[in-house]
Amino acid sequence: MNTTILLISTDRATELRHSLPAALAQPDAEVIVLDNASTDTTPELTREHGARHLRLERRMSWAEANNAGIRAAEGESVLLLNADCFLEPTFLEHARTALAQPGVGSVAPKLIRTLGPDRAERLDLIDAAGMSLDRRRKNNLVGHGRPSLAFDTPGRSFGADGAAALYRREMLNDCALDGNVLDPAFEKWASDVDLAWRGHLMGWDCAYEPRAVAYHVRSYGPSSRRLVPEGDRRVQFRNRYLMMLKNDSRASLARDLPRIGAYEALALGFALLRERHLLRGYAEARRLAADARRQGRIIARRRKLDPRLVPFGLEPQP
């Protein structure tokens, strides 16, 4: 199974200098540097290493840029990769083995936290062993902050974190809406969770493969949320509602209403008392709701799995 690696750089030449050679070292893979209107040395670095250069002349969101890359990719599988994520030499070998299992549409690798590209900057901490989505419809990074040797058993996952996520081409085709795999309305935050949820509805599983290892500089996670700009936190807050409007069903929501209602009360209280800028997220979700519902009707016609059977809370064994 040949693979296209989409390595996105938005003025990330410093990290790209290290992540690009690691990507090029993967066997049977075409590497496309997705140059998101960078103003640094991203083009020069790409040419220096002989990778394919896809220049986006207009700065796009992470979701929009990766959609453009997916349309240009020719591989039977596609690895979405951030410039601040550094692959081990055997990453793709192990990830593709997991992807070859029947019914598997995506692979979540083991991401280890690092402060930078150098070996000395690596931390003995897991960044993500896949993603989870619980029955409150709250997403999280599995294993974040646990020792790096934890979560060492292959298994099933709800989804793969977008920093390094391998997808089967057939799954991406099944999940595309309006010609887009990732929802542009999400901009970045939780667009990978939305795709994972939709993948389950379309009948695809996600495999967790701990032998596929990469080192990631986390910019937004449970341990760094307070450092993230307010606008990004608000987008992540509102995108939870868009995911529910698109992917949930009335029966599934009714079953989990007590959990969802309790969480909503806590979220509103947190916004009122701690982060009042999040209150604008409700208005933004309302503004985007009509299109989310429209997409939800398309998903409902195409889905192969009853939404009540979506594996909420699924995590690999620690």
Place 221 in a pLDDT band, splitting at 50, 70 and 90.
low
Total number of residues shown for the chain: 318
What's the predicted TM-score (pTM) here? 0.96
Cβ neighbours of residue 191 under 8 Å, at least 6 residues apart? Answer: 62, 63, 162, 182, 183, 239
Question: In 3D, which of 112, 103, 77, 70 has the Cα closest to residue 311?
Answer: 103
Average the pLDDT over 247-260 and give the result.
Answer: 97
* 183 has pLDDT over 90: yes
Per-residue tokens: 240: 């939870």
Give the per-residue pLDDT at 28.
94
Average the pLDDT over 35-46 and give the result.
Answer: 97
Per-residue tokens: 217: 């500089």
Please give the Cα distance from 73 to 14 (Å, whole number): 24
Assigned fold of 3-216:
Spore Coat Polysaccharide Biosynthesis Protein SpsA; Chain A (3.90.550)
Give the per-residue pLDDT at 38.
97
HEC string of the chain equals CCEEEEEEECCCHHHHHHHHHHHHCCCCEEEEEEEECCCCCHHHHHHHHCCEEEEECCCCCHHHHHHHHHHHCCCCEEEEEECCEEECCCHHHHHHHHHCCCCEEEEEEEEEEECCCCHHHEEEEEEECCEEECCCCCEEECCCCCECCCCCCCEEECECCCCEEEEEHHHHHHHCECCECCCHHHCCCCHHHHHHHHHHHCCCEEEEEEEEEEEECCCCCCCCHHHCCHHHHHHHHHHHHHHHHHHCCHHHHHHCHHHHHHHHHHHHHHHHHCCHHHHHHHHHHHHHHHHHHHHHHHHHHHCCCCHHHCCCCCCCCC
Average the pLDDT over 208-229 and give the result.
Answer: 83
Average the pLDDT over 45-69 and give the result.
Answer: 97
Cβ neighbours of residue 298 under 8 Å, at least 6 residues apart? Answer: 177
Give the per-residue pLDDT at 225.
67
Per-residue tokens: 180: 């887009």
Compute how many other C-beta atoms are within 10 angstroms of the C-beta atom of residue 283. Answer: 10
Decide: 316 and 153 in contact? Cβ < 8 Å.
yes
Give the per-residue pLDDT at 229.
86
User: Which residue in the block uniquely carries the two structure tokens 């449970």?
Assistant: 222
The chain-wide mean pLDDT, for the chain, equals: 96
Q: What percent of the chain has pLDDT over 70?
A: 98
Q: Model confidence over 294-318: pLDDT tens digits?
A: 999 999 999 999 999 999 999 999 9
Average the pLDDT over 115-133 and give the result.
Answer: 97
Specify which residues 109 forms β-bridges with: 209
Average the pLDDT over 5-22 and give the result.
Answer: 97
Per-residue tokens: 72: 């240009």
Give the per-residue pLDDT at 237.
95
Per-residue tokens: 42: 């991203």
Domain spans in the chain, listed from the N-terminal domain onward: 3-216, 226-309
Give the per-residue pLDDT at 228.
78
Stronger pLDDT, 230 or 158, i.e. the higher one: 158
Per-residue tokens: 14: 């410093």
Average the pLDDT over 152-159 and give the result.
Answer: 98
* Distance from the Cα of residue 128 to its chain's centroid: 11
Q: Model confidence over 265-274: pLDDT tens digits?
A: 999 999 999 9
